[in-house]
Structure 1
Amino acid sequence: MRRTFHWLTLAAICLATLAPQLVRAERLKDLTTIAGVRQNQLSGYGIVVGLDGSGDQTTQTPFTVQSIVSMLQAKGVNLPPGTTLQLKNVAAVMVTASLPAFAQPGQTIDITVSSIGNAKSLRGGTLIMTPLQGADNQVYAMAQGNVLVGGVGAAAAGSQVQINHLSVGKISGGATVERAVASSLGENNQIRLEMNTTDFSTVSRVVEAINNHFGPGIATALDGRVIRVLSPSSSDQRVAFLGILESLEVNPARQAAKVIMNARTGSVVMNQSVTLETCAISHGNLSITIGADNQVSQPGPLGAGQTAPTQNASVEIKKDPGKVLLVKGGASLAEVVKAMNAIGASPQDLLSILQALKAAGSLRADLEII
Structure 2
Amino acid sequence: MQNLYRLVSLVAACFVIVLSLGEAHAEVRIKDIATFEGVRENHLIGYGLVVGLSGTGDKLTASPFTRESIEGMLERLGVANLDGTVIKTKNTAAVMVTAKLPPFARRGSDIDVTVSSLGDAKSLRGGTLLVTPLSGADGEVYAVAQGAIVTSGFLAEGNASSVQEGVPTIARIENGAIVEREIDFQLDQLDSLRIALRSPDFTTAARVKDAVGTVLGPGAVRVLDPGTIEVRFSGKGPVPEMVAELENVTVLPDNVARVVVDEKTGTIVMGANVRIGQVAISQGGLTVRVNENYRVSQPGPSSIGGSTVVVPLEPVTIGGTTVVVPETEIDIDESERRFTILQGDVSLQELVDGLNAIGVGARQTISILQAIKAVGALHADLEII
TM-score (normalizing by structure 2): 0.83
1:177 maps to a residue whose letter is V
* Paired residues of 2:60 and 2:66 also in contact (CA < 8 A): yes
* Paired residues of 2:188 and 2:240 also in contact (CA < 8 A): no
* Paired residues of 1:36 and 1:184 also in contact (CA < 8 A): no
| Gap runs ≥5 in structure 1 | 1-18
- The Cα shift of 1:293 comes to 3.6
Q: 1:107 to 1:72 in 2, by over 3 A?
A: same
Q: Does 1:360 align with 2:361?
A: no
* Residue-pair matches, total: 350
Match of 1:168 in 2: 170
Alignment of 1:74-89 (within 5 A): 74-89=76-91
Give secondary structure in 1 for the equivalent of 2:346. coil
Give secondary structure in 1 for the equivalent of 2:225. coil
Give secondary structure in 1 for the equivalent of 2:212. helix
1:116 maps to a residue whose letter is L
Deviates more, 1:347-356 or 1:337-346: 337-346
The 2-side partners of 1:137 and 1:248 are apart by 38
Match of 1:154 in 2: 156
Match of 2:68 in 1: 66
- The Cα shift of 1:250 comes to 1.6
- The Cα shift of 1:319 comes to 3.6
Q: Does 1:369 align with 2:384?
A: yes
Alignment of 1:228-247 (within 5 A): 228-231=230-233, 237-247=238-248
- The Cα shift of 1:45 comes to 1.0
- The Cα shift of 1:327 comes to 2.0
The 1-side partners of 2:118 and 2:54 are apart by 18
Q: Does 1:248 align with 2:249?
A: yes
Deviates more, 1:306-315 or 1:259-268: 306-315
Q: 1:90 to 1:287 in 2, by over 3 A?
A: farther
Match of 1:104 in 2: 106
The 1-side partners of 2:178 and 2:111 are apart by 7
- The Cα shift of 1:66 comes to 1.5
The 2-side partners of 1:47 and 1:33 are apart by 36
> How high is the sequence identity, in percent, across the aligned residues?
42
Deviates more, 1:140-149 or 1:26-35: 26-35
* Paired residues of 2:188 and 2:238 also in contact (CA < 8 A): no
- The Cα shift of 1:164 comes to 2.2
The 2-side partners of 1:20 and 1:79 are apart by 75
Q: 1:76 to 1:319 in 2, by over 3 A?
A: farther
Match of 1:10 in 2: none
TM-score (normalizing by structure 1): 0.86
* Paired residues of 1:327 and 1:339 also in contact (CA < 8 A): no
Deviates more, 1:41-50 or 1:160-169: 160-169
The 2-side partners of 1:45 and 1:77 are apart by 21
Q: Does 1:195 align with 2:197?
A: yes
Residue from 56, 59, 76 that aligns with 1:57: 59
**Larger relative contact order (C-alpha < 8 A, sep ≥ 6)?**
2
2:347 maps to a residue whose letter is S
Give secondary structure in 2 for the equivalent of 1:63. helix
Q: Does 1:126 align with 2:154?
A: no
- The Cα shift of 1:65 comes to 1.1
Deviates more, 1:292-301 or 1:48-57: 292-301
Match of 1:260 in 2: 260
1:331 maps to a residue whose letter is V
* Paired residues of 2:39 and 2:103 also in contact (CA < 8 A): yes
Deviates more, 1:308-317 or 1:281-290: 308-317
The 2-side partners of 1:367 and 1:341 are apart by 24
The 1-side partners of 2:290 and 2:253 are apart by 56
Alignment of 1:1-370 (within 5 A): 23-183=25-185, 185=187, 189-231=191-233, 237-253=238-254, 255-294=255-294, 300=300, 301-304=302-305, 305-336=320-351, 344-370=359-385
Match of 1:6 in 2: none
The 2-side partners of 1:85 and 1:35 are apart by 51
Match of 2:5 in 1: none
| Gap runs ≥5 in structure 2 | 1-20, 306-319
**Cα root mean square deviation, aligned:** 2.5
- The Cα shift of 1:340 comes to 8.0
Give secondary structure in 1 for the equivalent of 2:199. coil
